[in-house]
Amino acid sequence: MSENTANPWLEIKAEDYEGHMALPEVDQSAPLGRIFGEALIRSAAKKIALLGSATGNGIEAVDFDKIDKLYALDINPDFLDILKTRFSLNISKIEAIACDLDRDDPELSGIDLVFAALIFEYVDTEAVIEKVARWLKPEGVLVVVLQLPCKDIPEISPSPFKNLEKLSSIMKLVVPDDFSAMVVARGLEPLGRRVHRLRSGKEFCEMAFRASEP
Ligand SMILES: C[S@@+](CC[C@H](N)C(=O)[O-])C[C@H]1O[C@@H](n2cnc3c(N)ncnc32)[C@H](O)[C@@H]1O
């Protein structure tokens, strides 16, 4: 995206985004929240970075008594304001970072779990992988969810929330094998992958990678 073009995500209202994701024919929030919850259980992470956190889908699954910090990163500060209000009881353990992952380089380190669901479709994949690889602690885990191509379903599901159509100008699917090759080139080891089929017929590919030992 050119320096002067505003990212369309900045123009998306939280109620439109959440309304769209929760539509029965879209139904993406609950599956993504479940995948995050499972990643939390598997990793027993103390420091978590949630990339493209939006308004905090899935954070209900975090046991704040067991973690030190959750970093929520998103380009849209309004989304993060809602996230902070929604999870205000645990705000001492949440750091919301409004940033453009393409242009900014938040100072994170020692992260046990980076969870990134449906964000790589909107950023410079290689540049963000390079940042994630630096943020992870040795043996820290990256869990990513990528949208798979589907012959009969548009990449951005049709929606009464017309504002979301703006996103098609920047959305691109990421091929899981290409993604995996880029992560492995940064020294991470693939742990596995699985495909989730949504009620809409859309499919997500979840992949996990582990940073190398010290
Ligand atoms: C499809 S949503 C992610 C879904 C979310 N993980 C969930 O479970 O509902 C993509 C998110 O990434 C954020 N985003 C898009 N481009 C970004 C960028 N360049 N830097 C940071 N966040 C970005 C958007 O604001 C949006 O909240």
**Per-chain mean pLDDT for the chain:** 93
CA of 120 to the centre of ligand 1 (A): 9
Ligand 1 atom showing the smallest separation from residue 50 Cα: 6
DSSP state of 187: T
- Under the banding of pLDDT at 50, 70 and 90, the label for residue 163 is confident
Higher pLDDT, 158 or 183: 183
pLDDT at 199: 87
**Residue 14, pLDDT score:** 95
- How many Å lie between the centroid of ligand 1 and the Cα of residue 214? 31
Give me the pLDDT at residue 156, please: 67
Atom of ligand 1 nearest to the CA of 74: 22
How does residue 84 score in pLDDT terms, banded at 50, 70 and 90? very high
Write down the architecture of domain 8-210 according to CATH: 3-Layer(aba) Sandwich (3.40)
Q: How far is CA 95 from the centre of its chain?
A: 16
Q: What is the mean pLDDT of residues 71-88?
A: 98
Checking if the pLDDT of 16 tops 80, the result is: yes
Phi-psi region of 47 (alpha: psi -120 to 50; beta: other; left: phi over 0): beta
| pLDDT (mean) for 115-139 | 98
Out of 1, 7, 9, mutate this one to test ligand 1's pocket (max ligand atoms within 8 Å of CB): namely 9
Ligand 1 pocket list (CB less than 6 A): 7, 9, 21, 29, 32, 52, 54, 57-58, 74-76, 79, 99-102, 117-119, 122-123
The answer to whether residue 186 scores a pLDDT higher than 90 is yes
pLDDT at 63: 97
158 pLDDT higher than 90:
no
pLDDT score at 27? 85
In the reported structure, the alpha carbon of residue 54 is separated from the centroid of ligand 1 by a whole-number distance in angstroms of 6
Residue 146 neighbours by CB under 8 Å, 6+ apart: 118, 120, 121, 173, 174, 176, 179, 204, 205, 207
Rounded Cα distance between 166 and 153, Å, is: 17
Nearest atom within ligand 1 for CA of residue 76: 25
Distance from the alpha carbon of residue 165 to the mean position of ligand 1, in angstroms: 15
Give the nearest ligand 1 atom to 58 CA: 8
**Res. 4: pLDDT tops 70:** no
User: What pTM does this model have?
Assistant: 0.95
